[in-house]
């Protein structure tokens, strides 16, 4: 995995992707995956991410990440 990450970072730097863009995209995808694995449960996702639920809630809204919770 370390080699894959190194290759990805090299590609991003070579393509001129700014650090802020890379960090934002990584965070968005990381949170989205945690939300999928927790089936939309923000408490479980926040615990898995090591962040407070309120922080996760704010970021989910900011990145417009679907929470996976469906109400009938």
* Better pLDDT: 68 or 45: 45
What domains appear along the chain, each with residue ranges and CATH number? 18-66 (1.10.10.60)
Cα 69 to chain center, whole Å? Answer: 17
Is this model's pTM higher than 0.85 or not? no
Q: What pLDDT is attached to residue 71?
A: 42
Q: Is 68 left (phi over 0), alpha (psi -120 to 50) or beta?
A: left
pLDDT in tens, 35-54: 999 999 999 999 999 999 99
pLDDT of 6 > 60? The answer is yes
Q: What pLDDT is attached to residue 66?
A: 86
pLDDT in tens, 9-34: 999 999 999 999 999 999 999 999 99
Which is nearest to 49 in space by CA: 68, 29, 66, 69?
A: 29
Instruction: Give the whole-angstrom CA distance, residue 40 versus residue 14.
Output: 36
């Amino acid at each position: 995995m370390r080699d894959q990450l190194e290759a990805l970072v090299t590609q991003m730097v070579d393509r001129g992707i700014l650090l802020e863009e890379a960090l934002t995209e990584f965070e968005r995808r990381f949170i989205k995956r945690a939300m999928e694995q927790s089936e939309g449960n923000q408490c479980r996702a926040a615990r898995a991410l090591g962040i407070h639920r309120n922080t996760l809630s704010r970021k989910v809204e900011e990145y417009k990440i679907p929470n996976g919770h469906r109400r009938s």
